[in-house]
Amino acid sequence: MTVEVSMNNLMKMEDREIAKGKITGDNRKISDLKVRITDEEYLDHAISKIATDLSHYLTK
């Protein structure tokens, strides 16, 4: 069975939110990322980059 993925379907899904769990990976990289996301300039840059990438994806 194939389910079409659309915004309406995603909003109706029961498990649409990311479940909290243990973060796995390099502890040094995780700590570095935690420090970077507390910097407002970095966060603004990251949000702009995500928005740009999403805009490009949606307009294709």
Within a domain: 34: yes
Domain that holds residue 39: 27-60
Higher-pLDDT residue of 32, 2: 32
**Distance from the Cα of residue 39 to its chain's centroid:** 18
**What is residue 4's predicted lDDT score, i.e. its pLDDT?**
57
pTM of the model: 0.48
**What is residue 48's predicted lDDT score, i.e. its pLDDT?**
95
Residue 56 half-sphere exposure toward CB, CA atoms < 13 A: 5
**What is residue 7's predicted lDDT score, i.e. its pLDDT?**
61
Mean pLDDT, range 47-51, rounded to an integer: 94
Q: Computed from CA positions of residues 21, 30, 49, 59, in that sequence, does the dihedral angle turn out positive or negative?
A: negative
Within a domain: 18: no
**What is residue 47's predicted lDDT score, i.e. its pLDDT?**
93
Within a domain: 47: yes
Higher-pLDDT residue of 11, 56: 56
**What is residue 1's predicted lDDT score, i.e. its pLDDT?**
46
Within a domain: 9: no
Within a domain: 20: no
* Distance in angstroms (rounded) separating the CA atoms of residues 48 and 50: 5
Query: Smallest Cα–Cα separation from 12: which of 3, 22, 21?
Result: 3
User: How many domains is the chain built from?
Assistant: 1
Within a domain: 4: no
Within a domain: 53: yes
